[in-house]
């Protein structure tokens, strides 16, 4: 006698679910960071986990991974037993960050002029092509990111890894400072100033260090260094785009 075996219908493949979740988390990261850079989420906005999970259709585990990544980049502050909020760099912190960068980056430029071969400047040329493209296309976040990477690349080419590690943190903080204190629609760190720096580096011009300092001073001077005004933010209205959440 043959016994009929009941065949259970297989559920969704776990691997596929993980892939879908990962893609969703990446999109959530991009949207939160863009909202901060575009001033839609001002400093000290509470990022309520339950609300964001509902808006984006993402689980708490994935959301917390996104918030951890943003916190690592100094964009979000994680508060024990209180959740997360958009970081609020103070005016004093903004000035101190740029003061530290003036010293470190002037030294990096001086070292680069003395030690780096001329051919290494091609890396800066290639990078500036990407930066100029993002600038022309009005991609503010990409432009801001590439601008910071230009400064980091100069330090890397100077060959001091300790200096690179210190600048990586300062440049990350600078990105948020610029996002918070820059007037909406105003340009930041124009590529033309980077082109001038590159030309000075190629000439091995001893004045390149002073040019870097003036460049950083100008970026700071272009910011509206006033403490941001607190206001209530509706998270759903910020991320609403006329379609269903992720």
SS (H, E, C) 68-95: HHHHHCCCEEEECCCEEEECCCCHHHHH
Question: Does 196 fall in a domain?
Answer: yes
Question: How high is the pLDDT of residue 155?
Answer: 92
Cα separation, 245 vs 240, in Å, equals 8
This model's pTM is above 0.95: no
Identify the domain containing residue 189 by its residue range: 91-221
- Do 65 and 166 sit in the same domain of this protein? no
CA distances from 136 to 35, 130, 132, 133 (A): 21, 10, 6, 5
**What pLDDT sits at residue 232?**
65
**Domain annotation covers residue 246:** no
In a domain, 75, yes or no: yes
Domain count, the chain: 2
Q: What local confidence, expressed as pLDDT, does residue 150 receive?
A: 93
- Looking at the fold, whether 117 and 190 belong to one and the same domain comes out as yes
Q: What is the pLDDT along the chain (246 residues), one digit of tens a residue?
A: 554 444 444 443 332 323 334 448 889 998 998 788 766 788 889 999 999 999 999 999 999 999 999 998 888 999 888 889 998 889 999 999 999 999 999 999 999 988 766 667 888 999 999 999 988 888 877 888 888 899 999 999 988 899 998 998 898 888 888 877 877 666 666 688 999 999 999 888 989 999 999 999 999 998 988 765 666 677 777 787 644 433
Per-residue pLDDT at 159: 86
pLDDT the model gives residue 49: 93
At residue 246, the pLDDT reads 39
For residues 95 and 211, state if they share a domain. yes
- The continuous run of DSSP H or E covering 47 comes out as strand 46-47
Start-to-end Cα distance in the chain = 52
98 lies in the same domain as 184 = yes
What gap in Å lies between CA 245 and CA 28, rounded to an integer?
10
* 173 plus 104 within the same structural domain: yes
> How far is CA 220 from each of CA 141, 198, 213, 234, 238, rounded to the nearest angstrom?
18, 20, 11, 30, 28
In a domain, 240, yes or no: no
Neighbours of 127 (CB within 10 A): 18
Residue 227 lies in a domain: no
Radius of gyration of the chain (CA): 22
How far apart CA 48 and CA 103 sit, in angstroms, is 39
């Amino acid at each position: 006698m043959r016994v009929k075996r009941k065949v259970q219908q297989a559920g969704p493949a776990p691997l596929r679910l993980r892939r879908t979740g990962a893609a969703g988390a990446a999109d959530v990261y991009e949207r939160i960071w863009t909202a901060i850079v575009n001033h839609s989420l001002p400093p000290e906005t509470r990022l309520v986990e339950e609300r964001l999970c509902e808006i984006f259709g993402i689980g708490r585990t994935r959301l917390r991974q996104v918030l951890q990544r943003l916190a690592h980049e100094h964009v979000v502050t994680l508060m024990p037993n209180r959740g997360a909020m958009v970081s609020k760099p103070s005016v004093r912190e903004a000035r101190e960050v740029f003061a530290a960068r003036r010293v470190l980056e002037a030294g990096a430029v001086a070292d680069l002029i003395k030690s780096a071969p001329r051919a290494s400047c091609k890396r800066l040329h290639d990078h500036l092509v990407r930066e100029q493209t993002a600038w022309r296309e009005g991609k503010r976040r990409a432009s801001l990111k590439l601008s910071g990477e230009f400064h980091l690349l100069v330090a890397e080419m100077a060959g001091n890894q300790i200096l690179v590690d210190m600048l990586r943190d300062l440049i990350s903080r600078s990105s948020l400072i610029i996002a918070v204190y820059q007037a909406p629609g105003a340009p930041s760190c124009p590529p033309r100033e980077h082109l001038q720096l590159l030309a000075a580096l190629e000439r091995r011009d001893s004045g390149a260090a002073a040019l870097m300092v003036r460049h950083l001073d100008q970026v700071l001077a272009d910011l509206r260094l006033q403490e941001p005004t607190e206001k209530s933010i509706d998270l759903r209205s910020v991320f609403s785009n006329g379609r269903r959440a992720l």
